[in-house]
Amino acid sequence: MSREKKGNTSRVINSYGGGLEANTMAMLDSSGTKDNRDANEDRLQYLEAVRAASLVPENGIPPTNKMYQAIFQILRFGRTLELITASFQLLSQLHQRFPWVYISDSAASGKHQLEIVDEAWSPFNFGSDVDSDENESSVRSSLFQELIQNLNNGVNESEESNLKILGNMFLFQYLVHFLKLDFTPRNLTYEETMNWSLLKESSLNLLLASRKVNFKLLMKDCLSTIHALFDADGKSISLVELHKGTLSAMKELLVMIMKLDESKKKADMEGITTRGDGVRTPAMEIIVDQLTYDGYLLSSFLQVFADPKLKLEIVLQYLTKYLPKPSVRTRRSHGPQAEDLKSLNGILKTFSNGTNAKSIIKKIGPDIVQILIGHAFLARLTIANPDKSDSITEICNSIISAFTNLK
């Protein structure tokens, strides 16, 4: 244990943490024997106590892993909205205050250094199936998949199961938030250092690498969930807000997975991955296939999926499938940015040819073509540093002639 080497101070802090753990956890110990409302009171008090000990003082100490786990249990199983929101908020604030993966600026080298806290708590458990009781309430890969399916199924259920649905949405948002906090600094450092092991050990990669996850199905579930949650008319205020949050978390998740795919591809090309890293169909490919197969998913997906660069690429891949071959000069996908952007104009130009336009409309319908072009154009306008060679004026002219032909 490396921690013990740090000497006296850390031992005192550790024992303080231990004492704090025993002292605060005692609040929950008696919950089991009390009536429901009392038990909920105790849990709220526990959350307040952790906040008071860890967040309020300037030199507050982080909760122990056992305390984190208890907060997470309240988030997962709490049966009042108050408990769920309070634990959700507390966990987010604790992560902000005590990050377990972060980039430190080392002034000496001018380079960013990735710091990873040893044995930090995680809501996930990717270990073996047989484990101690403590892991019972951690989230395994299969449970994550199940959770997304439940989000999808729960939408039209009765009001009675409302809290369960709300709880699932909060849980999902939290887990994605956690994955992102873990993934983003790792991916940034990877892009600088090409150290694949940083990403290999990221929670996101471990989650998806599990054999228990049917990745294709997971992607499909994500798309159906987006579609199901998109229309929130006639729901309560709480639900509407949660739907929005869940949709945005879903987008974050998909963007992260696509970024992981990109990084993995780079690592593959550099030859720094091993056979143990496995092969997975890139998320984008699955999504494009699914969107072409189930057209009704398209509109909601494009409205939710607000990452302009990836969105543009998805639309281009989609349209490329239906374009007459000779007019496509670039490679099908995964090319560098300049080539992709060129192909937006290139693709649009094929629509100015009446015969081409007609044949595409016949295949996918005028509505869908309009949606695709509209979103691609908006995405292109949003990209911060687009390729200069792909001029807006040219794109506009192509769009005008394309829409004229679509009429």
Partner 1 sequence: MNLDGPLDFENEDPLVNPPTSVEKRNKVIGLDDLLSDFYKEKSKRIDKENRKRKASKLYDSDDEEHGKEALLSIVDDCRNQACMNKIVGEEDIQEWGLCMFGDQKTPEPSLLPDLDNCYLLKEFMNSQLNSVVGLRPDNATVLLEGLLTNGWLTKLVEGAPVEIGWLPNYQALKEALESYGFRINTSQDVELAEADSESQGPPQNISAWLKFVAACCQIRCKNPLFTASQVEQIAEILVWLLLDRGLQGLSLLSQECLVSVIGSFKEKEWVSSCKKIANSLASRVPQDMNCLRIVESVSGVDTRSKHLRSSISNQMLVVLLDHKDSDEKLMSSLMSINLKEKSCNLFRTYIFLVLAENWLFSSKLVEEKPVLMEMWVVFLRNCSRQISSTDLRPYASKVRTKAAYLLQGWRMEKQLKF
Closest distance of CB 313 from partner 1, Å: 19
Taking the complex as a whole, the smallest distance from the CB of residue 56 to partner 1 amounts, in Å, to 5
Looking at this protein, which amino acid is placed at residue 383?
A: I
Q: Which is nearer to partner 1, 195 or 397 (by Cβ)?
A: 397
- Of 21 and 294, nearer to partner 1 (C-beta) is 21
Cβ proximity to partner 1, 146 vs 289, nearer residue: 146
Least separation in angstroms between residue 333's CB and partner 1 is 26
Give the nearer residue to partner 1 in terms of CB position, either 245 or 335: 245
Cα gap 51→167, rounded to integer Å? 21
- Smallest gap from Cβ 261 to partner 1, in A, equals 26
Backbone angles phi, psi at 212, to 5 degrees: -75, -15
For 115, the 3-state DSSP assignment is strand
CB 43, CB 78: distance < 8 Å: yes
- Shortest distance, position 88 Cβ to partner 1, whole Å: 8
Q: How far is the CB of 31 from partner 1 (least distance, A)?
A: 5
- Judged by CB, which is closer to partner 1: 245, or 282? 245
Query: CA geometry: angle at 24 spanning 19 and 30, to 5°?
Result: 125
The 8 Å CB, 24+ separation contacts for 191-198 are 191/263, 192/111, 192/112, 194/266, 194/267, 194/270, 194/272, 196/267, 196/272, 196/273, 198/114
Q: What is the smallest separation between the CB atom of 20 and partner 1, expressed in angstroms?
A: 7
CB of 355 to partner 1, least distance (A): 20
- Residue 263: phi and psi, rounded to 5, are -65, -40
- Choice between 34 and 331, CB closer to partner 1: 34
Smaller CB distance to partner 1: residue 5 or 329? 5
Nearest C-alpha neighbor of 322 from the set 287, 292, 281: 292
CA gap 230, 296 in Å, rounded: 12
165 or 250: CB nearest partner 1 = 165
Q: CA torsion 119→122→128→130, rounded to 10°? A: 100
